[in-house]
Structure 1
Amino acid sequence: MENNAIVFFLLRLTVAASMFGHGLVRLPKLNGFSAWMVKSFEKSMLPNLLVVPFSYVLPIAEFIIGLLLLLGLFTRGSLIGGSVVMIVLIFGTAMIENWEAIPTQLIHAVFFAGLLAFIQYNTIAVDHLIKK
């Protein structure tokens, strides 16, 4: 097994653990998470019409993206989906001027983009088993 495949696997698991963990802890308290997010955005320019549905979709998306990346299943699509989630989160975070949170979100975005750029090393994955 080559080092590039091992590095890709470890980095994929790293961002997967973060996304999966975010979703996992939020899903049991989805209504409370949604209420917190809506309150956080009450003074922003974003209407509740956008914030409320996103506050329910986000934990589900985090959980699913994290789970798929842990498995290495639909990896390319999961990395693209994770990137889109990060773009939306960064925009929303800017709307509430939570500048301290943006660096963490940017780090996640770099993980997603970097992994996508080197997807050919995704050999320790269910995707690779299916492809054979």
Structure 2
Amino acid sequence: MDDRALGRALLRLTLGINLVVHGLVRVPKLSAFAAGMARDFQPTILPSGLVRAFALALPFAEAAVGALITVGLFQRAALAAGALMIAALVFGTALLQRWDTLTQQMVYALIYAALIATLSWDRWSLDAVRSGSRPAQS
């Protein structure tokens, strides 16, 4: 097994699981999550309705994007969607001036960039199975 392919697969799997769980744990308390975000963003320029709509959609987007990343299906699109999601979160976090959180989000941005940049190393995913690029079995 190629070390680059293994390292990439493990990073992808870990990011995907993180996103799935991040989204799913918010679903049972969705209303409280959305209300809390709307309250947090009241002092910013963002309209409350927009913040609430984003907060209601975010857990489902995280879970869906995370599931695709976990199994490695439609990776380029899923990783791009995840990167755009983190960019939106960075924008909001910067408006709130929560610099410690923003630093953590920048790490996610780097992981998305690394996974997109190393798509050619992918050997252990549903995309690889679909394209026939999985390594030969011994």
Give the TM-score band, short-chain normalised. over 0.9
Match of 1:45 in 2: 45
State the number of aligned residues.
132
Q: Is the 8 A contact 1:23 1:61 kept in 2?
A: yes
Match of 1:4 in 2: 4
Q: Is the 8 A contact 1:46 1:95 kept in 2?
A: no
Match of 2:15 in 1: 15
Match of 2:93 in 1: 93
| C-alpha deviation, 1:42, in angstroms | 1.0
| Long gaps (5+) in structure 1 | none
List aligned pairs for 1:1-132, cutoff 5 A: 1-132=1-132
Structure 1 distance, partners of 2:103, 2:16, is 18
TM-score by length of 2: 0.92
| Long gaps (5+) in structure 2 | 133-138
Deviations along 1:26-52, one digit per CA (max 9) or x if unpaired, are 112111111111111111111113211
Runs ≥4 residues deviating over 4 A? none
TM-score by length of 1: 0.96
Percentage of matched positions with identical amino acids: 36
RMSD (Å), alpha carbons: 0.9
Larger Rg over CA atoms:
2
Structure 2 distance, partners of 1:107, 1:101, is 10
Q: Is the 8 A contact 1:90 1:102 kept in 2?
A: yes
Structure 1 distance, partners of 2:129, 2:13, is 17
